[in-house]
Amino acid sequence: MTNVSQEHAMQDRITEGLRHAVDEADALIKGGLKQGDAEAQALRDRLAARLARSREQLQELEEVAMYRARRAARLVDEQVHSHPYAAVGVAAAVGVIAGLLVALSRRR
C-alpha cells in the first residue's frame, strides 16, 4: 500500500470514527430522557470510547504529517546546500513572477 493510499485509509477511519461518535452523541441526546440510567451510562461509555479512539487516530495523523513536513524541509535544505546558486536563481525567478502578478493585478 502506498503512502498516499495509507493516508487516505487513515483519514477514512478517522472520519468514520467521528461519524459514529456524533451518531452516538445524537442518540444519547434524543434518548437520554427515555432510557434508564444503566442504558444511558452504557451509551455514554461507548461514546467516550469512540471519542478516545478518534483522538488517538487524529494524533497518529498529526504525527505522520509532522514527519513528512520535517522530511521535506530536510530534503529542501540539503538541495539548497548542494546547489546554492540554483536555489538563488529559483528564488529570484519566483520573486520576479510574483512582482509581475502583483503589478498586473493593480493595473486592473
Please check whether residue 10 is in contact with residue 61, taking contact to mean a CB–CB distance below 8 angstroms: yes
Residue range 5-36, pLDDT digits in tens: 777 777 777 777 777 776 777 676 666 545 56
User: Is 77 a residue whose pLDDT tops 80?
Assistant: yes
pTM of the model as a whole: 0.50
Torsional class of 54: left (φ above 0), alpha (ψ -120 to 50), beta (otherwise)? alpha
Top-confidence residue, 40 or 45:
45
Alpha helix segments (H runs only) across the chain: 3-31, 37-82, 84-107
Check residue 98 and give its pLDDT.
Answer: 95
| Banded model confidence at residue 2, pLDDT cuts 50, 70, 90 | low
Instruction: Taking the CA atoms of 94, 98, 103 and 108 in sequence, report the sign of the dihedral they define.
Output: positive
Quick one: pLDDT at residue 72? 92
